[in-house]
Amino acid sequence: MIDFRSDTVTKPSKQMLDAMMNAVVGDDVFNEDPTVKELQDHTAKLFGMEAGLFCPSGTMCNQIAIKAHTQPLDEIICDGYSHIYNYENGMWAMASGVSLRLINTDDGIINAQQVEAQIQPDHDWLPETSMVVIENTCNRAGGTVYPLKTMQALSESCKANKLKFHLDGARVFNALATGKYEAKDLHGLFDSISICLSKGLGAPIGSVLIGSNAFIKKARKLRKAFGGGMRQVGLIAAAGLYAIKNNANRVVIDNENALKLGAALTQSNSVEYVRPIETNIVIYKIKDSLDDADYIEQLKQKGIIAISFGGNMVRLVTHLNIDDAMMEKAMDVLKIV
């Protein structure tokens, strides 16, 4: 089966497994695991941050950042497609006691003017706007990439309005692979960034939260409170370190493969339209006369696993476990189902 459900389905390579088995480990709750330290420091330096924190998941990273940057009765501005709004179980309300103020866009990209229009006045009956969260790339919008100038303007606006600025960078390396900017171009723009290791980078587990020394010190305490304190975790941190050092540059292949899938879909009589493709996510709409569950089952019968996005929308995600032969077969199948 060719699994396009998500880039989270990747399996560790032999080289990654070897790195895991040879990792030097220690007790990370005591801050004594050298492999975890190397992963945290390496990731932070890539993006011009002072420090990092290894966590089990991107959701935990995002929620730690929200908890660290806000207090109860605050409000966060984000896009309606945001992962923190759609896929994190409303944890922002339970753990941090904050509300979300949504900006609804077609492409998951918000700008400084939209944010400034949503900042709450200082009234007793309104929450205090304290934070802005963006997702780059934006999964729900189809892997869209934030323009650098848009992020720079957002950063300037957040600083001017004393708002914390967090990047949900679960697939940020797919954004970087478009060649529109480099990691160093993000230096100084954000108060915190979360980076997933288990998607396009191919590690089996984990994310890294990066920020200032003071922020990470607070985040470590919150990670423990959230149940994310881990012990000899260098075994899996080694996979993340290998992934960043060896797989970050190859995600350009996944982006290119997504474009090939999109081209094949445009030749299918079943497809109404394909959303613009920038990275490794392909979202397309099949015709209203078709049943999406039946369509996905037909794909499965021909060896392709996809996922429904609701409203006759289907998602495919390319990743490092998709080889050339799989791509050829997938393109043939997508044209005829």
Nearest-CA neighbor of 136 among 97, 171, 84, 94?
171
Q: What are the backbone dihedrals phi and psi of residue 195, each rounded to the nearest 5 degrees, phi first?
A: -130, 120
The answer to whether 146 and 82 are in contact (CB under 8 A) is: no
Domain 250-336 has CATH 3.40.50.1980: no
Query: What are 15-70's pLDDT values in tens digits?
Result: 999 999 999 999 999 999 999 999 999 999 999 999 999 999 999 999 999 999 99
The answer to whether 95 and 65 are in contact (CB under 8 A) is: no
Instruction: Specify the fold of 11-246.
Output: Aspartate Aminotransferase; domain 2 (3.40.640)
Query: What are 238-266's pLDDT values in tens digits?
Result: 999 999 999 999 999 999 999 999 999 99
Domain boundaries, the chain: 11-246, 250-336
Query: What are 176-228's pLDDT values in tens digits?
Result: 999 999 999 999 999 999 999 999 999 999 999 999 999 999 999 999 999 99
Strands 2-3 and 164-168: unpaired
